[in-house]
Amino acid sequence: MDAQGPVFEYKIGLLAPSQVGKSTLIAGLLTEGQRLLNRETAVQLTAADRPTRNRIATTDNLVSGALKARVFQPRLMPSTSDPSWFRLLLEPRGRDLPIRFDILDYPGGWLENGGESSEHEHKWNECEAFLADSSVLIVPIDSVLLMEAGAEHAHLLTSQLRVFQIKQVVLRWAKNRRERTGEPAMVIFCPVKCETYLPDSGSLQDQSAELRHQVVDQFSEVLESIREAAPHASIRYLPIDTYGCVELVSARWTPHADAPGGVILVPKYRVRPPGTIVRKGLDDLISLLCRQLVDSARMQSEQTTAQRQATARHSREYADLREGFFRDLWLKVNGERSRRERVADDHQERYLEAQETTKSLIDVLAALAERQHGPRLHHLS
């Protein structure tokens, strides 16, 4: 908290190798967040700075344009080349009470092998520190890879999903969280590119159970590590379509020198007319994040309120303290008594401010809690 009012800040980390859909997911999060929150609830979501606004606009234009032109290629988005921080503000309407969350995007290749140069390695170390310190970890998972690998290539899945690398980061995060049990701790497993497998995106077949089974199977050791190292952490499963209006036509294994096993799975899509984005699951992701972060802000604010209440009581007692006739007279004459009273008034005011903040956050939580989540969200612990 500072002089301009309370600012609550949280970190959100994404964990996925390259080309899974991290950058698209972040851009979709703000676009969808604005649509959802501006319509439904007592809070609004905005980009906190210009770089965030610009990056989201670029991604949104690129994706919408390609879909309108019906040219959807799997490698449409330019690869992320540097770490970038997306800063979003969640604000209760009409109140100066911003909750800021920073989302880190980085080249997925760094998670795979730490980068190719010492400069990359240095930057990746910074990213790892951010990830370890995040309140929430989102793990986007390539559904096409999980579902279309086929028996012949099934043995490549674990290495292509980079399960080991993800487990390393998650372990460090979990140990960190265990030391700070008063802070939020949540991991969300988000299969992406799952338009073809879930019936609510227009797919004729329902393979949602199989998709979930595959995720739990492939990431079972990661799940175990979290439960062991940070038992208080919540684990959620939430499949997401960032496009929704595309359909998988085929997926073929093609030679690729850098990939584990020397091959990658290349999907081909068809755009469903009229080519407008129908995002799925992102609304639940936003609700999850908002509730988790507002709830943490509430806990933090309650602590501050309690501390300030104690301070206010203490300074009031000191201001009212009688120290004997002559001493009291002296305190009055030299202005010390009124100085103590001013301090006590000041502390009382700061206490009331914190109490007001807590109350506002509780109101926001109540508003957020009214929204029911969709059928895609599941608890994994």
The binding site for ligand GDP (CB under 6 A) comprises: 16, 18-24, 74-77, 79-80, 108, 192-193, 195, 241-243, 246, 269
Q: Kindly state the smallest distance separating residue 225's Cβ from Mg ion, in Å.
A: 25
What is the residue type of 10? Y
Task: Between 193 and 272, name the residue whose CB sits nearer to ligand GDP.
Answer: 193
Cα 204 to Cα 206: distance, rounded to the nearest angstrom: 7
Q: Kindly state the smallest distance separating residue 262's Cβ from ligand GDP, in Å.
A: 20
Q: At 237, which helix (H) or strand (E)? A: strand 234-237
Q: Which does 16 bind (CB under 5 to 8 A by kind): ligand GDP, Mg ion, none?
A: ligand GDP
Cα 57 to Cα 39: distance, rounded to the nearest angstrom: 21
Q: Kindly state the smallest distance separating residue 184's Cβ from ligand GDP, in Å.
A: 24
Q: At 13, which helix (H) or strand (E)? A: strand 8-14
Could you give the string, one character per residue 22-51, with x where binding to Mg ion holds by CB under 5 A and - elsewhere?
xx----------------------------
Task: Between 80 and 287, name the residue whose CB sits nearer to Mg ion.
Answer: 80
Number of residues near Mg ion (by CB under 5 A): 3
Cα 254 to Cα 17: distance, rounded to the nearest angstrom: 18
Task: Between 269 and 351, name the residue whose CB sits nearer to ligand GDP.
Answer: 269
Q: Kindly state the smallest distance separating residue 90's Cβ from ligand GDP, in Å.
A: 23
Q: Which does 246 bind (CB under 5 to 8 A by kind): Mg ion, ligand GDP, none?
A: ligand GDP
Q: Kindly state the smallest distance separating residue 39's Cβ from ligand GDP, in Å.
A: 22
Q: Kindly state the smallest distance separating residue 316's Cβ from Mg ion, in Å.
A: 55
Candidate segments 16-24, 29-37, 157-165, 296-304, binder of Mg ion by CB under 5 A = 16-24
Could you give the string, one character per residue 77-96, with x where binding to Mg ion holds by CB under 5 A and - elsewhere?
---x----------------
Secondary structure (DSSP) of 108-152: HHHHHHS-SSHHHHHHHHHHHHHHHT-SEEEEEEEHHHHHHS-GG
Task: Between 31 and 315, name the residue whose CB sits nearer to ligand GDP.
Answer: 31
Task: Between 43 and 277, name the residue whose CB sits nearer to ligand GDP.
Answer: 277
Go through 123-160 and write b for each residue having 16 or more CB atoms within 10 A of its CB, e for each that does not. bbeebbebbbbbbbbbbbbbbbbbbbbeeeeeebbeeb
CB atoms within 10 A of CB 375: 11
Q: Tell me the H-state helices in the chain.
A: 22-40, 50-68, 108-113, 118-132, 143-148, 157-160, 163-179, 208-218, 220-229, 282-320, 325-333, 336-369
Candidate segments 19-27, 286-294, 301-309, 352-360, binder of Mg ion by CB under 5 A = 19-27
Rounded to whole angstroms, what are the CA distances from 73 to 148, 160, 249, 288, 334?
18, 20, 12, 30, 80
Residue ranges in contact with Mg ion by CB under 5 A: 22-23, 80
